[in-house]
Amino acid sequence: QSVLTQPPSVSGAPGQRVTISCTGSSSNIGAGYDVHWYRQLPGTAPKLLIYGNTNRPSGVPDRFSGSKSGTSASLAITGLQAEDEADYHCQSYDSSLSGYVFGTGTKVTVL
Amino acid sequence: EVQLLDSGGGFVQPGGSLRLSCAASGFPFNNNAMSWVRQAPGKGPEWVSTIGGSGSSVFYADSVKGRFTISRDNSKNTVYLQMNSLRAEDTALYYCARNRGSGSYYNYCFDTWGQGTLATVST
């Protein structure tokens, strides 16, 4: 069981904005550790989408943005496109577990 | 182009062993920490182990501590995961991943992933 909780699914129509939450605790996100986000298409490896809470790697469109506050973080996708249908995972570090932790994962569906 | 090529997975009985390899190219290998992350069927990713650039620092998830050993050969640009005393719950797709970050390793992310190699533990 993961220490970072995400909603199992979110959905939206093309062009809409969706957000995915990642809720942690005082031993991970709340302790100030960075949150990173990954997108995983079916049958492929996860791909880094956001690092260091708010930063986008080269090549990731600015439709994707990250934020962090307190013990939670969020990923926002604006201008939703069919290609955004995928699983999204947050990741941070947990001091109680002394290791990196991933979220429970969220499936994004484009209606 | 940065590339990671995972290999070494297979079918093994409980209690058996496997050695995974990850060949890296396209970047200065000894400048980066490297990790193994696994994903069981239908589940999310789970961090397994990380090794620092020089190989002197290693970290393990509690679920594999004492059974798995991570190592690297910087002359071959390769990182390894020796998996012993395998259990059914170790069945997963194992990904090699490059760590990225500045400052404390606590804030590292996984910026490049291999294609994964499947380890199946079953009778």
Let me know the angle formed at the C-alpha of B92 by A87 and A72, rounded to the nearest 5 degrees.
Answer: 40
From the first residue on, what is the mean pLDDT of each consecutive set of 10 residues in chain A (111 residues)? Answer: 92 97 97 97 96 96 97 98 97 96 97 94
pLDDT confidence of residue B103? 76
Q: Flag if A91 and B109 touch (Cβ within 8 Å).
A: yes
pLDDT confidence of residue A1? 65
CA of A33: which chain B residue's CA is closest?
B107
> Could you say which residues from 35 to 94 on chain B have a Cβ atom under 8 Å away from some Cβ of chain A?
35, 44-47, 50, 59-62
pLDDT confidence of residue A44? 96
Whether A82 contacts chain B with CB within 8 A = no
Q: Flag if A51 and B50 touch (Cβ within 8 Å).
A: no
Q: Flag if B116 and A45 touch (Cβ within 8 Å).
A: yes
B103, B93 contact by CB (below 8 A): no
pLDDT confidence of residue A11? 97
Question: From residue B11, how far is each of A47, B45, B88 by CA, in Å?
Answer: 27, 20, 11
- Across the interface, of A52, A87, A104, the residue whose CB is closest to B107 is A52
Parts of chain B with a pLDDT under 50: none
Q: Which of A26, A47, A24 is nearest to A37 (CA)?
A: A47
Whether B108 contacts chain A with CB within 8 A = yes
Task: Give the ranges where chain B is alpha helix by DSSP (H).
Answer: none
Whether B111 contacts chain A with CB within 8 A = yes
B113, B97 contact by CB (below 8 A): yes
Distance CA B70, CA B55 (A): 9
Distance of residue B122 Cα from the nearest chain A Cα, in angstroms = 22
